Amino acid sequence: MIRNTLTALGLCAAATLAVTATASAQQMKEVNFGIISTESTQNLKSVWQPFLADMEKKIGMKVNAFFAPDYAGIIQAQRFKKVDVAWYGNKSAIEAVDRADGEVFVQSVAANGDPGYWSLILVNKAHPLAQMEPAKSMGGGAKFDPTTYKGCEPCMDMFYKNVGNYTFGNGDPNSTSGFLVPGYYVFGQKNLDPKQAFKRMVTANHETNALAVANKQVDAATNNTENLERIKKNFPAKYDELRAIWISPLIASDPIVWRKDLPADAKAKLKNFFLTYGTTGVESEKKILAGLQWAPFKESSNKQLIPFRQLDLAAQKTKLAASSMSAADKAKALAEIEAKLAALNKEAMTN
């Protein structure tokens, strides 16, 4: 009798959960879309609102733009279910996946056909570093072409020799091109801590850093080729003041991340929207994507983040080597990093 009662209760509970799950899917009437703070909210709204308005029409749900003063604000909002879907860079997407139950489902594609974008170190064209070849002729302004520019080795040699005399604009700690990539390639491989190495270091978004360089408020700053194109469009006079002295290896295009716990029907609508938007010959959609500097999206997954996880771990190894930890603690920490790298390498090899 007791067993029968428990069985009945279990069946009732299962049925209730099924009904609740179905109701949950049916009750999702709004989507909160997070947008990382690469530049001013006003500029971001101007290029994102037409896209979000089309999303609202296509998926049949109200779509709200969610902005925050830094990348962490979007990650935290997704963690606490205030954001359902968000545009991230690869570094911030790692944080969203690990801390906010996120999952990559599509990836942006550059409008100009580039397979990704590049991180940069910018200086003002009047700065002594910009007077050296090839920065003077190739490094920025209207002539800048990331597919042919290889950076300025003499500029970087001088940069390192005088780093203690410079002020520097670093990117958001969750930025791929503003922090992670230059953090490893520019600073990590030279065993430099930007917080300690420069006379003064400030942290800001891409746009603010670029304008600080143009206005001679800092000697140098991080940026990327996508944002540099937006500076060229929105601040043409300031753009002409900029020169790049360093360029990174290619960075994969940005992921779009949803919360894994979203209802299945909502996910299906969102995925269909992203993978079909701009592909049907509708000129207005192509124009809106061009405003975002994108072509139609392509499908992706969390595997997109593996190279950036590897880069982050490599940066940790570099920092560990320069730390004052005991030999035993250092060996233990190194073993943990190596185990994580091995697991990532294995994951990268799977289909």
Instruction: Give pLDDT tens digits for 213-271.
Output: 999 999 999 999 999 999 999 999 999 999 999 999 999 999 999 999 999 999 999 99
Distance CA(343)–CA(323), nearest Å, equals 25
Distance CA(78)–CA(98), nearest Å, equals 11
Fill in the amino acid letter for 206.
H
Count Cα atoms within 13 angstroms, Cβ side, for 235: 20
Distance CA(302)–CA(102), nearest Å, equals 9
**For the whole model, what pTM was predicted?**
0.88
pLDDT recorded at residue 114: 83
**3-state SS assignment for residue 30:** strand
- The H or E element that residue 103 is part of is strand 102-110
Give which of 175, 188, 190 is closest to 313, Cα–Cα: 188
Give 209: exposed, middle or buried? Use CB within 10 Å, 0-12, 13-18, 19+.
buried
pLDDT recorded at residue 139: 59
pLDDT recorded at residue 6: 38
CA 307-224-189 angle, 5° bins:
55
List the chain residues with pLDDT less than 70.
1-26, 137-143, 351
Distance CA(232)–CA(217), nearest Å, equals 19
Tokens 């170190």, residue located: 121
pLDDT recorded at residue 140: 65
**In 10 A of CB 42, how many CB atoms?**
7
Distance CA(120)–CA(171), nearest Å, equals 11
pLDDT recorded at residue 147: 85
pLDDT recorded at residue 292: 97
